[in-house]
Amino acid sequence: MYYYQALQRNATMFGDDVGTSFGERERTWKEVELRVAKLAGALVEQGVEQKNHVAILAMNSDRYFEYYNAIPWIGGVVVPLNIRWSLKENIYSLENSESSVLFVDDAFLEMGKELAKQCEKIQLIIYMGEGETPENMLNYEQLIDNASALAPVKNDYNNLAGIFYTGGTTGFPKGVMLSHTNLWSSSIIVTAEIGLNVAGERYLHAAPMFHLADVGISYATVIGGLCQVFVPYFDANSVIEIIEQKKVNHVLLVPTMVTMMLATPTLSDANFSSLKHIIYGASPMPEGTLIAAMEKMSGVKFIQAYGQSELSPVISILPAKYHVLEGAYAGKLRSAGRAGYCLRVEIRDENGTVLPTGKVGEIVASGPNTMLGYWKSIEQTAATLIDGWVLTGDAGYMDEDGFIFLVDRLKDMIVTGGENVFSIEVENALSHHSAIQESVVLGIPSKKWGESVHAIIRLNEGQEITDEEIRSHCREYIASYKIPHSIEIRIEPFPITGAGKIMKNELRAPYWINKTRAIN
Amino acid sequence: MYYYQALQRNATMFGDDVGTSFGERERTWKEVELRVAKLAGALVEQGVEQKNHVAILAMNSDRYFEYYNAIPWIGGVVVPLNIRWSLKENIYSLENSESSVLFVDDAFLEMGKELAKQCEKIQLIIYMGEGETPENMLNYEQLIDNASALAPVKNDYNNLAGIFYTGGTTGFPKGVMLSHTNLWSSSIIVTAEIGLNVAGERYLHAAPMFHLADVGISYATVIGGLCQVFVPYFDANSVIEIIEQKKVNHVLLVPTMVTMMLATPTLSDANFSSLKHIIYGASPMPEGTLIAAMEKMSGVKFIQAYGQSELSPVISILPAKYHVLEGAYAGKLRSAGRAGYCLRVEIRDENGTVLPTGKVGEIVASGPNTMLGYWKSIEQTAATLIDGWVLTGDAGYMDEDGFIFLVDRLKDMIVTGGENVFSIEVENALSHHSAIQESVVLGIPSKKWGESVHAIIRLNEGQEITDEEIRSHCREYIASYKIPHSIEIRIEPFPITGAGKIMKNELRAPYWINKTRAIN
């Protein structure tokens, strides 16, 4: 279905209930539907046509949600830009995506002006902010005020719905092309398996809305009739406050956000009685962090969703009941769960042969949520999308019950003395130490071993630890060749992507200047 | 997704659990997967090719389920034939569908032989029975024994998956063309809303497997990992017995089946402790019958699924919680529920204008489950499928909460003295009388009124009733002009379609010989 059809369904069924809540601003589903129909009307009046690409560079807000509905309403293509990107990266993706319209908010106003100057294709800039509308831009609210409501434009579910840029830490980002069916199928399996379908409950957009992790889970909750609550960006204190104040029931967090919340003193006193689910995903959650979170927020159920943009994004789900350390459902906590209802997942070797239970290989997946391909990149598409299967680039294995255990990004694997060490496994071991807040484990050059295991560690406030203590702690969890050979304590936060993933590439790069890794 | 991908997922996750159970024969998901892969291999060895149309004429069985998986496995198109059809109708649909292969079981062996003679296009007949294989047929089990397992053939989710014949009581049946996405999307919304997803629970195929009502609900349960239990055909006694014996958890029944179960003495003593849900649909359930069923099977939750083949088939769902006579959820029992998660539903007048809340018009629906069209019938497609919306031919209205209230098939509406009387409303009133087992209300010719309201009634065993008693009972429920003008008590069962719908056309026809109805 089209994204906006879930909104329409809610307007029909729960029209007078609150649909969006942003700060003091609350609107009913009927109001949101009308605003979207008018925004769509305004865009068409401005000459925006079906199949036009419409970009957005903004913090989270109710208007961002309206954008996601209005663009498919006119048969356009959404192009949500990464809020962490440099000017250069934004220019690249605007030009690469051939976007002719840009939505921009106050946080990105200066960037928007610069993009307007440098990107010739951009013909229309819509200012979503609260201040005075800059020259050469149109005001979002004025557009809606002056427009007539438009009926949705006839379209096809298999048409391109959006281009979602991914990667970009090395080389330029790739534009993942997703259809309406792609986006819908990924979300409905979340609704189906997790049951985020109690109309009137509240979902908080805490992760950035440009990113598919939030798009996928929130769409599942829109389908289920849930009120959409927004914070402009993730900040542990304000997210804790909003959950309390607005009685949020469900939130998607990436692991670094969970780490930050655990390090926030106000968490202990927070009233999280409304909070039913924390859905986490987008990068692997270290086991120690997960257990600490489960202990500190004991009334909350945790659900893992593993995926990537190329799968719109959900691949597998680990339901709440497996988040236990004892009993019949124990033993799956470190897994990424099982294939979603619409998917087939296999583990394959480098020749494409399906591997048996327990063997580590590349995780590949296929379903109605399989991307259409990479935008304007036949080569990259051919390398990733083979006969309808996406090669995820993740290494993992499957157990006898079909649970997927991620061991590493293929590119992050460390080859030391002929042995494979999976960085996630070492990070997991480190995560169990109470002094350690977070860690990154990398392969760095070693004359003797090819690569050696290097750990960069951030400690919890006021903690100290010796290398020998760390190594002796690790010995309880992992084999000796996996134990960090060199250790570095760091104070400053790790660099993270717009989606909150730690940028391992960037942390690894300094060690490899003028050297070539075997895995690349 | 393809139908068989749900089977594959189950084989991966619950491979050693029982997947199919038919009589004494039980097979694990892994066994079923292997059999399907081998059946697929056998078909290809026999020259069956991608896009070939493969018909089946059989009672319910585990082999029927394997057929539904093996045909998409090779990229073929399923053509399930109606088990109630005459030779003539079967010949029509085999020829019309251009089927080249026919699966046939013991119940339809003679019919199969006749079809082989008369349908030149049929090149291969596969005998699914237990007896000796007739000349010119191939044995189902031998084919599997001798074949090699085949990998699924590459295909496209939007390709034709099946032709499902519908109607046919007047004129020839229409072949509804459904894609893989159509079938999948209808089913996943059932999984999502009803949550038939506790792996290992048991679904009973009591309704005929050729019909989309069973296909749709059972596919939802296959997605959810539920064991599939089969009875060859619906018989109230044996269904009651099987539910007890095999500890069935969920079953789809059409209203006439519920009526028959209520009239079965063994129901009172049956142990239905395993039975969680009766899903009912395919035709309107009279309210009195539903309430009687809720009382007699008080431990069971009832769920309504309203739909039609053209929507693959689910349009709306009335969840269990609305099956109450008191409390916050009361007042919706007579409704068909609200639009499924993947659908938009509107009520339109004869000009296509959307009607407001409470106004009766034609129910129209649109979603990823909207059929591709009618097979080889551009005209009928153009009359039914408009801009992606299906005109259902059902009259109804929507309340302020988006609940759909069906009032009648447009063709069954009675126009008497300028007033519209909806036959369902009168049947509902009659259903509340304890002496009445079931009824059919029809418009018959009247010189004075154009049409007059005629009721044909079947009584419960040992009951008697006068026309005046019936009319006085009806007066409690409906306006005087809706009360049956003429009443007929009938002993013999009503004629029903293969799907268990009462054939109103056939009951009405004798009154209209040489006369023309205003509605047709």
**Helices B62-73 and B3-13, axial angle in degrees (round to 10):** 110
Test the A interface: residue of B12, B14, B180, B347 with most A CBs within 10 Å:
B12
Collapsing DSSP states into helix, strand and coil, what is residue A176? strand
Contact B213, B282 (CB under 8 A): yes
Neighbouring residues of B174: CB distance < 8 A, sequence distance ≥ 6: B165, B166, B167, B168, B374, B375, B377, B380
Virtual CA dihedral for B8, B12, B13, B18, nearest 10 degrees? 70
Q: Which residue of A has its CA nearest to B17?
A: A401
Collect all residues from A whose CB is shorter than 8 A from any CB in B: 1, 5-6, 8-9, 12-14, 154, 157-158, 181, 184-185, 188-189, 191-193, 195, 197, 223-224, 338-339, 341-345, 367-368, 387-388, 398, 401-402
Report residues of chain A scoring pLDDT below 70: 168-171, 519-520
Q: Which architecture, in CATH terms, is A413-512?
A: 2-Layer Sandwich (3.30)
**Minimal C-alpha gap between A49 and chain B (Å):** 19
Probe site for chain B from A10, A182, A341, A399 (most B CB atoms < 10 A)? A341
Q: Alpha-carbon distance B112 to A311, whole Å?
A: 45
CA distance B486 to chain A (A): 41
Q: Report the SS3 class of residue A335.
A: coil
A188 vs B184: CB contact, 8 Å cut-off?
A: no
ipTM surpassing 0.90, yes or no?
no
pLDDT tens across the length of chain B (520 residues): 899 999 999 999 999 999 999 999 999 999 999 999 999 999 999 999 999 999 999 999 999 999 999 999 999 999 999 998 888 889 999 999 999 999 999 999 999 999 999 999 999 999 999 999 999 999 999 999 999 999 999 999 999 999 999 875 456 789 999 999 999 999 999 999 988 889 999 999 999 999 999 999 999 999 999 999 999 999 999 999 999 999 999 999 999 999 999 999 999 999 999 999 999 987 888 899 999 999 999 999 999 999 999 999 999 999 999 999 999 999 999 999 999 998 999 999 999 999 999 999 999 999 999 999 999 999 999 999 999 999 999 999 999 999 999 998 888 889 888 888 889 889 999 999 999 999 999 999 998 888 999 999 999 999 999 999 999 999 999 888 899 999 999 999 999 887 788 888 889 989 988 888 876 5
Own/partner contacts of B28-33, CB < 8 Å, gap of 24 or more, are B32/B7, B32/B62, B32/B65, B32/B66, B32/B69, B33/B7, B33/B8
Fold assignment, B182-409: Rossmann fold (3.40.50)
Both structure tokens of B182 = 């159509």
Fold of B3-151: Rossmann fold (3.40.50)
Q: Read off the pTM.
A: 0.90
Distances in Å between the alpha carbon of A67 and those of A40, A58, B181? 9, 11, 27
Q: What is the pLDDT of residue B519?
A: 65
| B342 to A12: CB separation less than 8 angstroms, yes or no | no
Strands in B210-350 per DSSP E = 227-230, 250-253, 277-281, 301-307, 314-318, 338-339, 344-348
Q: b/e for A241-277, b at 16 or more Cβ within 10 A? A: ebbbebebbbbbbbbbbbbbbbeeeebeebebebbbb
Inter-chain residue contact B341 with A8, CB threshold 8 Å = no
Task: Kindly report the CATH class assigned to A28-179.
Answer: alpha beta
Domain boundaries, given as residue ranges, for chain B = 3-151, 182-409, 413-512
Verify whether the Cβ–Cβ distance A368 to B13 is below 8 Å: no
Contact B368 A1 (CB under 8 A): yes
Residue of A9, A155, A345, A348 to mutate when probing chain B, most B C-beta within 10 A: A9
A403 to chain B: nearest residue by CA?
B13
Cβ contact (<8 Å) for A9 and B341? Answer: yes
Q: What is the pLDDT of residue A411?
A: 86
- Tell me which chain A residues have a C-beta less than 8 angstroms from the C-beta of B195: 192, 195
